[in-house]
Amino acid sequence: MVGTPGDVGRGLQHLGHPRVWGAVIGAVGGSVFVHANRGDLPAAVSMGALVVWAAALAVFVWAVFITRRLFAPLEPLPLSAAWVYFLSVAGMLVGIQLGRFALDAVERVDVLPCVIVLAVGLHFLPFARAFATPMFTRLGLLMAVLGVVGLVLGLAWTGTVAPAAAVVTGVVMLLVISQDAWSGRPGPARDQ
């Protein structure tokens, strides 16, 4: 899509474009990671997480809705993209449930947030190719790493690592999505 002529505008002017509503879905997911898990952290850390989330959300709003950027024309997606989407979501849900069963067996459900982070991250990886959006590779790999690190540290050390890893993941999601939107700004020659 790079180099394809398109419309330059703000996300607020292109709410129906997948790059905008898809970013909103990601921001909601990232925000859920933060708010569903910060309550399991010590009070001061939880408040700090709220402040960091608010700052990341402000960056997201600026990059996705306010900054002028290039919106490439929409090209029809192959039918296989829908299959990739549905199979990825199904795989994510199965992975979360299998992780829950495994953690139940060892009585460590406290680290389930990291299994969820890992499953959500892995479900993004096939999206990069199916939807021609390389940002999904970065996001998926970062989330998978955070999930694995949080899971290992949570099992070996303390279960508090799991909600901390989930909160960090939520902020990372907002920032990666913001960076992707920010990188779509038109260059000086196209902006005039």
What's the pTM value of the predicted model, to 2 decimals?
A: 0.88
Residue % of the chain over a pLDDT of 70: 94
> Is beta strand 68-71 parallel, antiparallel or unpaired with respect to 7-10?
antiparallel
- The whole-number pLDDT of residue 97 equals 98
Residue of 6 and 37 predicted with greater confidence: 37
pLDDT for 5:
52
CA distance readout (Å), 131 to 34, 110, 136, 160, 173: 26, 34, 9, 36, 18
The domains of the chain are located at: 7-191
pLDDT value at residue 192? 38
Residue 190 in this model has a pLDDT that exceeds 80: no
Provide the terminal-to-terminal Cα distance of the chain, rounded to the nearest Å: 21
How far apart are the C-alpha atoms of 169 and 146, rounded to whole Å? 7
The string of pLDDT tens digits covering residues 131-179 is 888 999 999 999 999 999 999 999 999 879 999 999 999 999 999 999 9
Instruction: Provide the mean pLDDT of the chain.
Output: 90
* pLDDT tens-digit map of 36-55: 999 999 999 999 999 999 99
Instruction: For residue 117, name the pLDDT band (cuts at 50, 70, 90).
Output: very high
